[in-house]
């Protein structure tokens, strides 16, 4: 029994070390070998995460008010709720996990910008994927879904290009954002069913 437990501890340790090696190796390839002439572009893409995520539900809600469209207003509220849920989970996760930024641990990483918070998960990525997923659930048309996820993916990539996040941070951010949208969507469906029964 002790040998089995020892094997699993050894396997888990080796897997974790290998995952960390892959994480930094991928980041080095993206950050160190980057085209520096694109730094400004990726900085702008990265900075678009919060403004677009805040503006999207406000714009949809405003259009809903102008057109007296209660469905549009409900969709706007859902997108806004997802943004808040994702932000809350991200902030709490950062404080619990407490991963240092890659440039603090690895001097070869070249940060284009600096960040004050912890690294895991990527807040910009979680925000972008929360917006992309909630928008896609609210408006499941290819011309909404495709651009939304291209933009969210570009946000995630920009965080690695800028040297402020590991690939695992970006992946975690995408999962937090998409998961927040899905759970908020399901919660709203459940609440609406309860209201209809009354």
97-125 residue pLDDT tens: 999 999 999 999 999 998 889 999 999 99
**For the residues 39-52, what does the mean pLDDT come to?**
96
Number of H helices, E strands in the chain: 8, 0
pLDDT of 15 > 90? The answer is: no
pLDDT of 2 > 90? The answer is: no
Sign of CA dihedral 14, 17, 20, 21: negative
Whether the bond between 77 and the residue before it is cis, its omega within 30 degrees of 0, is no
pLDDT of 149 > 80? The answer is: yes
**For the residues 71-95, what does the mean pLDDT come to?**
95
Reported as half-sphere exposure (CB side, CA atoms, 13 A), residue 109 has a value of: 25
pLDDT of 77 > 80? The answer is: yes
pLDDT at 69: 93
Please state at what angle helix 123-138 crosses helix 142-161, rounded to 10 degrees.
Answer: 180
pLDDT of 17 > 50? The answer is: no
Provide the pLDDT confidence category of residue 8 given band limits of 50, 70 and 90: very low
**For the residues 31-40, what does the mean pLDDT come to?**
93
pLDDT of 162 > 80? The answer is: yes
pLDDT of 9 > 70? The answer is: no
**For the residues 180-188, what does the mean pLDDT come to?**
93
Range from 24-38, 98-112, 182-196 carrying the lowest mean pLDDT: 182-196
CA pair distance 102, 188, nearest whole angstrom: 38
pLDDT of 160 > 70? The answer is: yes
Model confidence, pTM: 0.87
């Amino acid at each position: 029994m002790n040998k089995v437990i020892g094997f699993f501890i050894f396997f888990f340790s080796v897997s974790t070390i290998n995952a960390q090696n892959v994480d930094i190796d991928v980041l080095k390839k993206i950050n160190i070998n980057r085209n520096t002439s694109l730094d400004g572009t990726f900085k702008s893409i990265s900075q678009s995460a919060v403004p677009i995520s805040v503006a999207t539900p406000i714009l949809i809600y405003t259009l809903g008010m102008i057109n007296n469209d209660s469905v549009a207003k409900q969709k706007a509220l859902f997108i806004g709720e997802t943004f808040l849920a994702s932000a809350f989970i991200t902030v709490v996760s950062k404080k619990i996990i407490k991963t240092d930024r890659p440039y603090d641990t690895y001097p070869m990483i070249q940060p284009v910008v600096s960040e004050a918070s912890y690294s895991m998960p990527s807040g910009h990525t979680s925000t972008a994927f929360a917006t992309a997923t909630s928008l896609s659930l609210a408006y499941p048309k290819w011309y909404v879904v495709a651009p939304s996820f291209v933009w969210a993916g570009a946000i995630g990539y920009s965080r690695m290009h800028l040297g402020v996040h590991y690939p695992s941070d970006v992946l975690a951010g995408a999962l937090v954002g998409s998961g927040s949208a899905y759970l908020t969507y399901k919660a709203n469906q459940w609440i609406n069913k309860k209201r209809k029964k009354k």
